[in-house]
Structure 1
Amino acid sequence: MNTNWGAFTTAEPELAKTVEERFATYTHHVLATLRKDGAPRTTGLEVRFLNGELWLGMMPDSLKALDLRRDPRFALQANPGSGTDMGGGDVRISGRAIEAEDEDEEARRRYTEEVEPPEPFHLFRTELTEVVRTYVEDETYLVLQVWKPGEPVRTLRRA
């Protein structure tokens, strides 16, 4: 099942809003991709939520872009910030990154109007496979909210 950010927002608007706000707190986040040998690679990345999509923009021929071209699986972790204040909790998005090719000119044009990236650049739209939010409730419980396409949010509490 292919699910973009807009479909997730429609299915789970409250969680989607919390996740977007968490990503908006900081500019740079951590992207995990898979190297050619299967080992993980983590790198910094800016993300954009535009027009119902979660976009990943990258410098030309960056290693993370080459990783995603070879194997589109990714995990994206919101920047936790400094200290212990993690307002909104810790959030992670997993999925597949699909490169917006030249024939997808309209999507690239709308993205560049909003973001004004350096040219040339790689642009990937995302298909979500999981969204996870972790936070502390009442200084007692560790709470995990887990969403997967086609399923309602599952909430787990651990003391």
Structure 2
Amino acid sequence: MSFNRKDLGTAESAAWGAFVAAEPEFAATVQSRFDAFVHHTLATLRKDGSPRTTGLEVRFLHDELWLGMMPGSLKALDLRRDPRFALQANLGPEAEMTDGDVRIAGRAVEVRDPQVIAGYADVVQPPDADAFHLFRTELTEVVRTYIEDGKYLAVQLWKPGAALRTTRRT
């Protein structure tokens, strides 16, 4: 699949594949946190600017991070109006955070190309392959917070165009 990237504003952003190329080990850790559970938490902005949090499934396909949504869902309408989002990986039933807390921020671009939508539907098999919203993500930030060596709170931060940065606190 290939995509035409639109100008999404002034903040630098990158597709999932660019993140993987820049930081393969960190990207693998982030993806494994999302792969550990089916449902995650998405934050979008309502018309009045207040946050909306909802659950959703995410998919990593063809070097992209995809957000698929039911037709007419409020989160899809939010993203059409304002593409900014934050996505947090499910912490699990006990919130142990064994591999850390992982969050991704960015902008979601709705895909309207029928061939791309059909290709996604062939793999994912949504309930109605002809009626769903599909968004491709442009990452502006990826963060992982975890306990390192049993004594440090470590925060890894990646932004497009910058090196992975790790800070530690005792």
TM-score, scaled to structure 2: 0.90
Q: Which portions of structure 1, spanning 4 or more consecutive aligned residues, are displaced by more than 2 angstroms?
A: none
2:35 counterpart residue number: 24
Q: CA deviation at 1:118?
A: 2.2
**Paired letter, 2:123:** E
**For residues 142 and 127 of structure 1, what CA distance do their matches in structure 2 show?**
28
User: Superposition RMSD on alpha carbons, in Å?
Assistant: 0.9
What's the % identity of the aligned pairs?
66
Determine whether 1:105 maps to 2:114: yes
Q: CA deviation at 1:136?
A: 0.2
**Matched residue SS, 1:36:** coil
**Matched residue SS, 1:29:** strand
1:82 counterpart residue number: 93
- Pick from 119, 125, 132: which aligns with 1:116? 125
**For residues 116 and 26 of structure 2, what CA distance do their matches in structure 1 show?**
25
**For residues 44 and 126 of structure 1, what CA distance do their matches in structure 2 show?**
16
1:45 counterpart residue number: 56
**Matched residue SS, 2:138:** strand
**Paired letter, 2:125:** E
Give yes or no for contact 1:75–1:93 (8 Å, CA) kept in 2. Answer: yes
Stretches of structure 1 lacking an aligned partner (at least 5 in a row): none
2:76 counterpart residue number: 65
Q: CA deviation at 1:84?
A: 4.3
**For residues 16 and 39 of structure 1, what CA distance do their matches in structure 2 show?**
30
**For residues 127 and 141 of structure 2, what CA distance do their matches in structure 1 show?**
30
**Paired letter, 1:28:** H
Aligned length: 157
Give yes or no for contact 2:13–2:106 (8 Å, CA) kept in 1. Answer: no
Stretches of structure 2 lacking an aligned partner (at least 5 in a row): 1-11
**Matched residue SS, 1:38:** coil
**Paired letter, 2:164:** V
**For residues 51 and 98 of structure 1, what CA distance do their matches in structure 2 show?**
16
**Matched residue SS, 1:48:** strand
**Matched residue SS, 1:127:** strand
Q: CA deviation at 1:131?
A: 0.2
Give yes or no for contact 1:22–1:87 (8 Å, CA) kept in 2. Answer: no
**For residues 8 and 39 of structure 1, what CA distance do their matches in structure 2 show?**
29
**Paired letter, 2:54:** T
2:9 counterpart residue number: none
TM-score, scaled to structure 1: 0.96
